[in-house]
Chain A
Amino acid sequence: MSTVAERSTGLALKAIRQIAGLEVIDRVGLRGPAERALYSVTKNGMGAAATAGRTFTVVTGNGKSTRPRPANPKGLFDLTPDEDQQMIVEAMKEFAAAELRPVALAADSACAAPAELLESAGELGLATLGVPEELGGSAAEKSAVTGVLVGEALAHGDLGLAAAVLSTGAVPTALGLWGDAAQQATYLPAFTGEEVAVSALAILEPRPLFDPFALQSTARRTADGFVLDGVKALVPRAADAELFLVAAELEDRGPALFLVPTSAGGVTVTAEPAMGARAASTATVAFTNVPLPEVALLADGDQEVYAECIHRARLAWCALSVGAAQAALDYLIPYVNERVAFGEPIANRQAVAFQISDIAIEVAGMRLATWRAASRADAGNGFFREAAVARQLCVKHGAEIGSAAVQLLGGHGYTKEYPVERWYRDLRTAGVFEGALLV
C-alpha cells in the first residue's frame, strides 16, 4: 500500500492519506476471518432502551458553516474518475475483497458486522467522506460521485457490510452539507475525533407504499424546541447509535430532519432483522415524546434540503445495488463457463449466455444513471429527476439480476454454499430502503 501513499503526496484528499496508511488493512488482514469475533445478536435485543451514549453540548461555532466545495466540470462528457477517486476506489476494492467478502455470510447470519471491521472502517475515515476537510472530514470536493464510487466498490464485497460501514456516515455527511455552524460545531467532532460515533439517518416507516414526503412521524413545536414522535423502520446499527437524524412532519412546514441524540431519552430500539442487508443490524426505532432543542432542526426545515436528502440517499442505495449486481455478474461468468451439463459448459447455451449479456447491459445502464445523477449533484445542478431515474433502474434491474443469479446456478444457487442467494435477498431489499445512507 506504500505505493498508494507515495502517489498521494501533494493531493488534497484526506481520505487518501488515511486509506494510504492502510496499516489497518494489513493488520486486519493478518488474522483469519474466522478468528474475528462478531457482535452478538443479543446486543440489539428485543425492545431494549437505547444505550444512552454521549451527550452533545451545544456549541455556537463561529457563525460560518462550511460546505464541501462544489466540483467544477469543464463541460466535457467524461467517465474517467479523477486520480483521487481512482486511488480511493482501488483501495476500497481491495478492502472489500479482503475484508468484506470473506466474512459476508457470517455477518449475514449474525445480523452484525464484525467489530474489528467496523473499527477499521472508522479508521479509514469512511464516516466523514462527505464532510469538508476544514471540519476534519475527508471531502475536498465531488462528494456525491466519490460517495457513489466508494459505495459501489464496497458493495462489490458485500452489500450488507457496505451498508453497515457506510450508514454511520450519513449523519455527518448531512451535517457537512446542510448543518449550520452551531450544528457542525456541536455534532461533527464526534465523527472526526478518535472514537467515531455511530449514527443513523432514519427516514423509512413501516407501512405499504411508504412516501418520504408524507410522513407519519411528527414534530410539534414547544416553547424551547420540538417534541418528536414516530416509528422508523430498518434503521442500520440503531442499537449502537448515539445520534439519529430523523425525518418527521413539522407542523406548518412539511417533512423535516431533526438531530436526535439517543441521550435525549424516549428512544426505543428493537432489532428488526430483514430479508437482506442483514449485516447492517437493522432495527425499528420508536421515538416517543422526545424533547428536542431548537438547534435540532436541520436547515431550518427547508423543503428543498429535505428533498435533496431523500434523493441523495436513493443514490447511495443505487451505488450499492450497482456494486452488488456487478459482483453477481463477475461471479456468474466463471461459474457458467465451468459448470457442465449435457456434455458442455452451460455458457455454450444461448439461454444462459444471453442472460449474462442482459445482466451486463442492465448493470452498465444502472451505473451510468447513478453516476450522472451524482455528478449533477456535485456540479450544483438539479438532479432529482436523474436520481429518480437511477432508482427506478436500480430497483427493477437490481432485483432481476439477483433473481437471474440464483437461476443460473440452479439448485446450488438456492443454498448458502454460494453467495448468489445473498445477492438475491440484498438486491431485492436495497430497493425498499429510503434514507439510511447518504452521498
Chain B
Amino acid sequence: MPIPPPTPNTTVINLETPKKFRPLIGQAHTVAQEVLRPIARKYDVAEHERPKELDFLAAILNGMEDSGATSGAGAAGAGKGEDKPANGNGSDPAATKNGSNLSTALSIMEMCWGDVGLLLSIPGQGLGNSASAAVASPEQLEEFGGRWAAMAITEPEAGSDSASIRTTADLDPGTGEYVLNGEKIYVTSGERAELVVVWATLDRSVGRAAIKSFIVERTNPGMKLDRLEHKLGIRASDTAAFILQDCRVPASALLGSPEVDVKKGFGGVMQTFDNTRPLVAAMAVGCARACLDFTREALDQAGVGIDYDKPALSQSAAAAKFLAMEAEYDAARLLTMQAAWMADNRKPNSVQASIAKAKAGRTGTDVAFGCIELCGAIGVTETELLEKWARDVKILDIFEGTQQIQQLIIARQLLGRTSAQLK
C-alpha cells in the first residue's frame, strides 16, 4: 500500500486577534471612542430618550457589513455560521475558520469599551436578530432579515425558567392565524425595534417542545407597550413590557417548524443561546477593559507602576490588585474568543458558551468594583464614567442566563445530570 503523502501543517495554535479582523476592530474602536463615549453620559441621564446619533451609526455599520465578508459590530452577525472557509485558500475543509461569530464578538468588545447601553440600542443590531437568524427559514430571513428585532422571552412569572412561560399561541383554523395571549417583560429595545420575536407555547400541557417563537410586527395592535423600566444601568437601552391580547399573526410568523416534536424538545430555540451567550460575554469583556484602561491611567498619574516581571506581592497592593484583575479579564476574553471560534467552526460549544458567559459575567462586575476600590472618589463620581460602567456591567451577569444558570448548564453537561436531578 502506498504511503500517503504527509499532510502539511495547516494549523498553528494562535490566540491572537486574527489579522484580517484588525481593520474592523480598529473601526469599531474608533466608533466607540468618537461616537459612543461622548454621548454615554447624556443617555444615562436622559433615560428612555432615543439616541438619535445611533441612526446615523447604523447606516455606517450596515455599510461596514456590506463591504466585507465579515459582519458588523452589532449582534446581528453572529449565528450565521460560515459555509465557506474563511481562510482564503478554500481548498482544505478541515482548516480552521475565523468567521462572523468571532468577528462580531471582537467588535462588540470594542463597542462596549465605548458603551454597553448604546451598543444595545444600535438599530438593527438586536439580539433578536441573531436569535431569529439561527432558526428562521430562508423565506423568513428574506422577509424580516434586514429589520431590527427585539426578543421577548421573559414573563413576570418566568425568567430563568423560560420553559414555564405562559404566553399562549392558538391556531385559528378559520383564518390560519396564530392568536397570542400573555405578558412579556424586560424586552430590550422593545419600544424602538420594528419586530418583536415572542416566545409562546402551542400547548402548555406539553412543556418545552411546544414553545415556539413568533415574529410580531411592533405595530401589531394586539401587542400593547405597557411601560418602560427605570434601571440601575444601561439606561440608554430601553427595556419594555408588553401585553399581548388576542394578538393575531400569520402562520408564516412562526419561526422554524410548527411541529411539536417532544424528542427534539427545546433544542431549536435553546441553540440560539450558544451563539448569543459569547456575545454577551464579549460585552462584559469590553466594559471590563474600559474600567481597566481608566484605572491604569489613573494609577499611572498617581505614580503607581505595574511590573509584569516582579512578583505581584513585592509591588504595591494597588499594583498587585490590578495585575490580578487584568489576569481574570484576560481569561474571560480568551474564553469568549474560544466559544465564538467554536461556533464559527460548527463545533458543539454550549459548555464553552456558558463558561465564557459565566466567567465574563462575574469578572465584569469584579473588575468594575475592584477598579472603583483603586480609584476612590474618581471611581464613583458622575464626572467620570467608571461608576456608570460599574452599573452597566451588572446586567451582563443576569440577562441571557444568569451566573447561576450558566453554572447549572455547565454542571449538568459535565456531570451528565438531567434537569430533574440537578435542579
- Distance, CA A390 to CA B323, complexed state (A): 11
Question: A209 contacts which chain B residues (CB < 8 A)?
Answer: 311, 313-314
Within 8 Å by CB of B18, from A11, A75, A79, lies A75
Interface range for B: 35 or more
Question: B45 contacts which chain A residues (CB < 8 A)?
Answer: none
Contact B87 A310 (CB under 8 A): no
Q: Within the complex, what minimum Cβ distance (angstroms) separates B309 from chain A?
A: 6
- Distance, CA A369 to CA B337, complexed state (A): 12
- Distance, CA A369 to CA B408, complexed state (A): 25
B302 interface residue (CB < 8 Å to A): no
A28-36, A66-74, A95-103, A411-419: which one contacts chain B?
A66-74
- Distance, CA A337 to CA B415, complexed state (A): 7
Contact with B along A55-92 (1 / 0, CB 8 A): 00000000000000001111111111111110000000
B352 interface residue (CB < 8 Å to A): yes
Contact A77 B3 (CB under 8 A): no
Contact with B along A369-392 (1 / 0, CB 8 A): 101101110010100111111101
With a 10 A CB-CB cut-off, give which of A85, A345, A379, A388 has the most chain B CB atoms: A388
Q: Within the complex, what minimum Cβ distance (angstroms) separates B370 from chain A?
A: 14
Contact with A along B327-358 (1 / 0, CB 8 A): 11011101101100100000000011001001
Nearest residue, chain A, Cβ from B415: A347
B227 interface residue (CB < 8 Å to A): no
B68 interface residue (CB < 8 Å to A): no
Contact B12 A71 (CB under 8 A): yes
Question: A365 contacts which chain B residues (CB < 8 A)?
Answer: 328, 331-332, 334-335, 359
Contact A356 B309 (CB under 8 A): no
Within 8 Å by CB of B407, from A73, A333, A354, lies A354
A361 interface residue (CB < 8 Å to B): yes
Question: A350 contacts which chain B residues (CB < 8 A)?
Answer: 404, 407-408, 411, 422-423
Q: Within the complex, what minimum Cβ distance (angstroms) separates B51 from chain A?
A: 32
With a 10 A CB-CB cut-off, give which of B14, B414, B415, B422 has the most chain A CB atoms: B14
Question: A79 contacts which chain B residues (CB < 8 A)?
Answer: 13, 15, 338, 341
- Distance, CA A76 to CA B422, complexed state (A): 39
Contact A361 B410 (CB under 8 A): yes
- Distance, CA A77 to CA B311, complexed state (A): 30
- Distance, CA A213 to CA B308, complexed state (A): 11
Contact B309 A361 (CB under 8 A): no
B179 interface residue (CB < 8 Å to A): no
Contact A358 B407 (CB under 8 A): yes
Contact A82 B310 (CB under 8 A): no
Question: B355 contacts which chain A residues (CB < 8 A)?
Answer: 360-361, 364
Q: Within the complex, what minimum Cβ distance (angstroms) separates A359 from chain B?
A: 9
Chain A residues at the B interface, C-beta cutoff of 8 Å: 6, 9-11, 71-85, 142, 145, 209-213, 307, 310-311, 333, 336-337, 344-345, 347-348, 350, 353-354, 356-358, 360-362, 364-366, 368-369, 371-372, 374-376, 379, 381, 384-390, 392-393, 396
In the assembled complex, 28 residue pairs joining A and B whose CB atoms fall closer than 8 Å, in A order, are A72-B12, A73-B16, A75-B14, A76-B96, A77-B16, A77-B96, A77-B102, A78-B12, A83-B7, A84-B9, A85-B13, A307-B309, A336-B415, A347-B411, A347-B417, A350-B407, A350-B422, A353-B412, A354-B408, A364-B335, A365-B331, A368-B331, A369-B327, A375-B12, A379-B14, A389-B326, A393-B330, A396-B327
